[in-house]
Structure 1
Amino acid sequence: MLIPIGVAVQVIVIAGAWFLVLNDLDSGTVLDNNTVGNWAHAAHAQIGAIVIPLLALALLIVSFFAKVPGGVKWAAITFGVVILQVFLAFVGFAAPLVGLLHGANALAVAAVAEVAAGKAKKASVTAPAQPAVVS
């Protein structure tokens, strides 16, 4: 569930980033090639390019050992859409309309990560209890 939570944080910080930009523009700041992003843009970039991909990679690695039915498949799908998300972000700088796909794919990242989490939760609830070993 850390990945869907991360996506929610991403939505919050990117909204904050652009409202900060709008506030700066209202205050007379000029937005040009010399303008650097604000703290929220930086947070969005770091979480999206480092934190969430590392979480997706950790999920994929753990899925091989977790013995959750369908776990590896959903972890791999999650990892795939996360990598696609990073790719869409970088391409979006050169082709701004790709940013629409970046936003839409964020919903896919959250959705497939929640499916993976649901598979793990279901497996932990339905796992048979191990018999106690008596010496």
Structure 2
Amino acid sequence: MRSTYRVFACLVAAGVLAQAASVAYAWFAVLQTIDAGGVFDKDAGANPGHYAHGIIGMALIPLIALTLLILSFFARIPGGVRWAAITFGLTALQVALAFVSFSAPLVGALHGLNAVALLAAALVAARRVRRAVEPVLPRPA
């Protein structure tokens, strides 16, 4: 169960990194389109990077973070529930900040900063497994 907890914590962290990569790809693709004489407006639609960012951030990471939280109750990792809850809370905040950012773009900066906090929390959660001490059984004589 502890290994599964670690895997899911690492999956949240990997998801955050995939988010950063996909949004960077999305906006550099937009800039390339504009440089080539294209137009980016409300009718332009999203590119694959935007779609990936939305799917990973609105579906995959929240599902993985929720699973991590559920696993934390069974993994018996000291501080595991707390860090899984922090990770889940930051994930929920990340989704909320994304929605607010559409009407208040300055909040987008908080969305980016919260992503760093989410990455850190997921990595701390994963490291908690190492601190969990397995009971040492005496060797048979």
Shared fold (TM-score, shorter chain, > 0.5): yes
Instruction: Mark the CA change 1:49 to 1:131 in structure 2 (over 3 Å): closer, same or farther.
Output: farther
**Number of the residue aligned with 1:65:** 74
- Pick which of 92-101 and 114-123 moved more: 114-123
Residue 97 of structure 2 is aligned with which of 88, 101, 108? 88
**Separation of aligned partners in 1, 2:43 and 2:57:** 23
Residue 33 of structure 2 is aligned with which of 9, 24, 28? 24
- Give the drift of 1:28: 1.4
- Note the alpha carbon deviations across 1:85-125, whole angstroms, 9 max, x for none: 000001100000000000000000000111111112321xx
TM-score after normalising by structure 2: 0.88
Unaligned segments of structure 2, at least 5 residues: 1-9
Count of residue pairs brought into register by the alignment: 131
**Number of the residue aligned with 2:114:** 105
Give the letter aligned to residue 95 of structure 2.
V
Tell whether the 8 Å contact from 2:19 to 2:57 is kept in structure 1 after alignment.
Answer: yes
Secondary structure in structure 2 of the residue aligned to 1:79: helix
> Is 1:7 aligned to residue 16 of structure 2?
yes
**Number of the residue aligned with 1:127:** 134
**Separation of aligned partners in 1, 2:138 and 2:24:** 51
Unaligned segments of structure 1, at least 5 residues: none
Give the letter aligned to residue 127 of structure 1.
E
**Separation of aligned partners in 2, 1:60 and 1:130:** 29
Give the letter aligned to residue 68 of structure 1.
I
Instruction: Mark the CA change 1:131 to 1:51 in structure 2 (over 3 Å): closer, same or farther.
Output: farther
- Give the drift of 1:130: 5.3
- Over aligned residue pairs, what C-alpha RMSD do you find? 1.5
TM-score after normalising by structure 1: 0.92
Residue 76 of structure 1 is aligned with which of 74, 78, 85? 85
